[in-house]
Amino acid sequence: MNQKIYLDNNATTKCSAEVLDAMLPYLKENYGNPSSTYSFGREVKEAISKARGNVAKLLNACDDEIIFTSCASESNVTAIMNAVQNNPEKKHIITTSVEHASIIETMKHLEDKGYDITYLPVNEIGQIDLIQLEGAIKDDTCLIAVMMANNEIGNIYPIKEIGKIAKRHNILFHCDAVQAVGKVKIDVKELGISTLSLSGHKIHAPKGIGVLYINSSVQFNPLIFGHQEMNRRGGTENVPYIIGLGKAVESILENDYQSNVEICALRDYMEEEILKNIEDTVIYGDKKNRMSNTSSLAFRGVNATELMLMLESFNIFVSIGSACNSEIALPSHVLVACGADLENYSPIRVSLDKNNTKDEIDIFIRNLVNVVNIIRKRGK
């Protein structure tokens, strides 16, 4: 069997060795409950505080503005429901048509309850129009929810400008920053963000741990009642995962975003070689405002599912659409929103990380060229 080449890091990342090392003592010997008042518990509580401090530093937030959750989906739902509960007289929300399922599905739920949701359209490169966004604001708008970076096409959205609009109109602004963390510098104060979510498993920590940032000026109603997390999120803390997340964040701070420069160079090399070697290739998204690691690629007449499966037979893993959508094999809502010609150009998503090498990318390109040729010949 060929070596495994994993090119789906927007779906999830490998837990790093330093994260695992940091977590293990909290599964083995330091298993105390952080709520216990004796030293065996207090030591664990201190370790959680350190992890919280790291996350706060990453976001330029205060420690007590950080809540640990079970995942970013929970953080997104909590932030939206909080905005709604705090403004019972306001029934309008603005979001985009390219958000993650945890946002879109919460909006649909609220629509069923009588809320008026504006799903901002995007242009052919997946960007929103800020004039349209501001024009959509109504007297009863309680929330603007826009992601920082898109998981499928990698677009980065104009968060600072949206923060200013939200502030001007005194509206809460929630930002799903799951894909942006570690790739884009985030200063929640400068960006005017009210609430923000992030997820451990996109930054080399385990799956099943998330963060919700809540600006101290925002009134907060918990989704899960209980005494932990300063009465804001009940449930005994997932200590090893919180420690792992804290370590992953520490690595981002130490690296100071340098690995993104290398990842971007590798992604750009890959795209150049593909464009050179495969005719009728399309790269979706906003190439001027895109995450360093993401490439959404389509080849005329090549079915993405078939392509993905053939690459899999060479032990190369790419995705079609997002991980959450790919099981259902629905056309990507993001590319549908972009008005993409999915009939002729159905995309695979390649998302790199610091563990990918040029050798891997060269093997991927070689196989991709062959497989695209085979599929195209078959189709003739």
Which lies closer to ligand PLP via its Cβ, residue 197 or residue 367? Answer: 197
Which lies closer to ligand PLP via its Cβ, residue 353 or residue 367? Answer: 353
Which lies closer to ligand PLP via its Cβ, residue 71 or residue 308? Answer: 71
Minimal distance, residue 184 CB to ligand PLP, in Å: 13
Q: How many CB atoms lie within 10 A of CB 343?
A: 8
Quick one: three-class SS letters along the chain?
Answer: CCCCEECECCCCCCCCHHHHHHHHHHHCCCCCCCCCCCHHHHHHHHHHHHHHHHHHHHHCCCHHHEEEECCHHHHHHHHHHHHHHHCCCCCEEEEECCCCHHHHHHHHHHHHCCCEEEEECCCCCCCCCHHHHHHCCCCCEEEEECCCECCCCCEECCHHHHHHHHHHCCCEEEEECCCCECCECCCHHHHCCCEEEEEHHHCCCCCCCEEEEECCCCCCCCCCCCCHHHHCCCCCCCHHHHHHHHHHHHHHHHHCCHHHHHHHHHHHHHHHHHHHHCCCEEEECCCCCECCCEEEEEECCECHHHHHHHHHCCCEECECCCHHHHCCCCCCHHHHHCCCCCCCECEEEEECCCCCCHHHHHHHHHHHHHHHHHHHHHHC
Which lies closer to ligand PLP via its Cβ, residue 166 or residue 198? Answer: 198
Which lies closer to ligand PLP via its Cβ, residue 65 or residue 176? Answer: 176
Catalytic residue among 15, 62, 264, 324: 324
Determine whether 324 is an active site residue: yes
Minimal distance, residue 266 CB to ligand PLP, in Å: 21
Positions touching ligand PLP (CB under 6 A) are 71-73, 100, 102, 147, 151, 176, 178-179, 199, 210, 323-324
Minimal distance, residue 198 CB to ligand PLP, in Å: 8
Minimal distance, residue 208 CB to ligand PLP, in Å: 8
Minimal distance, residue 188 CB to ligand PLP, in Å: 17
Minimal distance, residue 237 CB to ligand PLP, in Å: 16
Instruction: Specify whether the CB–CB gap between 164 and 112 falls below 8 A.
Output: no
Which lies closer to ligand PLP via its Cβ, residue 1 or residue 328? Answer: 328
Q: Among all residues, which ones are annotated catalytic?
A: 324
